Amino acid sequence: MNLAQNNQWAIVHHFEDRAISGASKDRPGFREMLKAAQSKEFDVLLVDDLSRLSRDDIETKQVISRFKYQGLRIIGVRDGYDSSGKGEKIQTSMRGLMNELYLDDLREKAHRGMAGQASRGYSTGGRC
């Protein structure tokens, strides 16, 4: 909110997908945001960081490319990303890849933990 206030930008929408992974393409808030962008309901999209847009490298690039074509700007407040900034293509590629690799690493650790629980005879969740 501070960045919007500092730039005197009016906040016209708040999109949210609470407790839904950014790896999922089927998020209600994400779909609503894409629809609002298509209708030119906003000029700038503020995200906490680029991983909040998507954790999929290709999807991140597609959304940013579509937004740029539509004349919309994306700003990652915490990570300093700005789709209108110099070197944004490198930042988009690096951050998109890092966000996707984070999920791969998290998945591997979760499976390793579940395998350890199962080998000790404990439930790993779900139906027994």
Average of per-residue pLDDT across 109-121: 90
pLDDT digits (tens, 9 = 90+) for 33-77: 999 999 999 999 999 988 888 888 999 999 999 999 999 999 999
> In this predicted structure, what is the pLDDT of residue 128?
60
Task: Give the confidence band of 86 by pLDDT, cuts at 50, 70, 90.
Answer: very high
> What average pLDDT does the structure give for the chain?
90
Domains in the chain, please, with CATH?
2-119 (3.40.50.1390)
Is 25 strand, coil or helix?
A: coil
DSSP per residue, 33-99: HHHHHHTT--SEEEESSGGGT-S-HHHHHHHHHHHHHTT-EEEETTT--BTTSTTHHHHHHHHHHHH
**pTM of the predicted structure, to 2 decimals:** 0.79
